[in-house]
Structure 1
Amino acid sequence: MSFRFSRNELASPPSSSAEHDRARSVSIGTLAAAFCVGGVVALIALSTARTARAQTGAGPADGAPLMRAPLQVVAPVDLKRYAGLWHEQARLPNRFEKKCVGPVTAEYTPQEDGTVQVVNRCGLADGQFDEVAGSARVVPVAGQPGAGRLEVRFAPAWLSWLPAVWGDYWILKLDRDYQVALVGAPNRDYLWVLSRTPKLDEATLREQLEYARSLGFDVDKVVRTGETVTTAR
């Protein structure tokens, strides 16, 4: 930028210079006023758009996840009646049972300290059986004494203080005779249909799965126990 003045500018009379300054001030004032008015109009438009969007409600197109109702558990559940041997009939694929291709059972035994001993057993491809023992504990639910909400741990007992070693075990459906149970997790990634009998009739199994579907579980991914599973979480 140059600070030199041209000869014509130096020769201009004072009155011309004053008029030039006034004209320049008017122009600047006009531009400033226009800028302010434009800013106000833009703010009004932005505010109107935000209000309209808020009233419309967010959907999948807005990047907002679809909300599902929280799962409810059976209450009350008599753990002494629930104890004993259960046969798995169907499940959502999971990493814990990726090698299970044969019968799967779970046996629950109440302990004196209020916990429940858990022993899971499943058939492998070579005809052998895999067995793992763990422990379950009741999770209190406010206003629902004896609610069927438990946590299961298969890690060593000395790691039981770690929240990460406990998995959710929610009893979502249970018949009055304690013969058929639907068990899942609140994130809907895990689901099991259990029965006292080794083979549950097809109509009852479908009823359990349709109920699970109504709760938001991806029943289309469910496998029947004994089928080969190639995918797992």
Structure 2
Amino acid sequence: MRKLLLLLSFLSLAGCLGMPQGVQPVADFQLNEYLGKWYEIARLDHSFERGLQDVTAEYALRADGGVAVINRGYLAKTNEWKQAEGKAYFVNNEDEGYLKVSFFGPFYGSYVIFELKNDQYAFVSGPNTDYLWLLSRTPSVDNQVKAKFELLAKKRGFDITQLIYVEHK
């Protein structure tokens, strides 16, 4: 029985490191160029971000070679800032935009950068089509970037009718 539980636990964790069909991580990824502050422009909703506005993500190198992640957002209904600290590591090669990220101990999920333009915006997926983000170096993007994001996401099976566009003040 214990072996079965271990196997099921392993399979459930491994499933979190996949990616949706049709999503491919960017090649020639340069982590040093990706580090720094990003603004969340759009996302599919999840309990860990529900109601948050002014959401940002900051990435920095860790001493162990990984990436420190700090996600921050404002929850207006309680008039407070929420912050989560995590860590990320490359899944395969360091020149591939495919990382695993953890905010909860030993549990990791996929962080797949499938579009990255001149270090100005990034389209990011999780392990399945329930997780999707548009990040930008600025608090807003033009409508062409939003349209491209929605088109590429829809082609890959994401439900773009559920997108939330984040307010930044």
- Where on the TM-score scale, by shorter chain, does this alignment land: which range? 0.7 to 0.9
User: Given that residues 70 and 186 in structure 1 are in contact (C-alpha distance below 8 angstroms), is that contact kept between their aligned partners in structure 2?
Assistant: no
**Per-residue deviation at 1:200?**
1.3
User: Given that residues 89 and 195 in structure 1 are in contact (C-alpha distance below 8 angstroms), is that contact kept between their aligned partners in structure 2?
Assistant: yes
User: Given that residues 71 and 186 in structure 1 are in contact (C-alpha distance below 8 angstroms), is that contact kept between their aligned partners in structure 2?
Assistant: no
Matching of residue 193 in structure 1 with residue 134 in structure 2 = yes
How far apart in 1 are the matches of 2:33 and 2:58?
12
TM-score, normalised by the number of residues in structure 2 = 0.81
**Per-residue deviation at 1:70?**
4.1
How far apart in 1 are the matches of 2:67 and 2:128?
23
How far apart in 2 are the matches of 1:73 and 1:79?
13
Matching of residue 184 in structure 1 with residue 135 in structure 2 = no
How far apart in 2 are the matches of 1:172 and 1:186?
12
Q: Which runs of 5+ in 2 are unaligned?
A: 1-19
TM-score, normalised by the number of residues in structure 1 = 0.60
The structure with more strand, counted as a fraction of residues: 2
From the superposition, tell whether residues 190 and 69 of structure 1 become closer, same or farther in structure 2 (CA, over 3 Å). Answer: closer
How far apart in 2 are the matches of 1:138 and 1:203?
30
Q: What amino acid does structure 2 have at the position aligned with 1:220?
A: T
Match of 1:172 in 2: 114
User: Which protein has greater RCO, CA pairs closer than 8 Å, 6+ apart?
Assistant: 2
Q: What amino acid does structure 1 have at the position aligned with 2:67?
A: V
What's the C-alpha RMSD, in Å, of the aligned pairs? 1.8
1:56-205 paired onto structure 2 within 5 Å: 69-100=21-52, 102-125=53-76, 126-140=78-92, 146-155=95-104, 159-160=105-106, 165-175=107-117, 177-205=118-146
How far apart in 2 are the matches of 1:218 and 1:224?
14
The structure whose Rg is larger is: 1
How far apart in 2 are the matches of 1:213 and 1:140?
26
Deviation sequence 1:126-172 (CA, Å, 0-9, x none): 3321111110111006xxx61111111112xxx43xxxx11111001
User: Given that residues 115 and 135 in structure 1 are in contact (C-alpha distance below 8 angstroms), is that contact kept between their aligned partners in structure 2?
Assistant: yes
Q: What amino acid does structure 2 have at the position aligned with 1:172?
A: F
How far apart in 2 are the matches of 1:174 and 1:194?
10
Matching of residue 225 in structure 1 with residue 166 in structure 2 = yes
The structure with more helix, counted as a fraction of residues: 1
Q: Which runs of 5+ in 1 are unaligned?
A: 1-67, 228-233
How many residue pairs get aligned? The number is 148
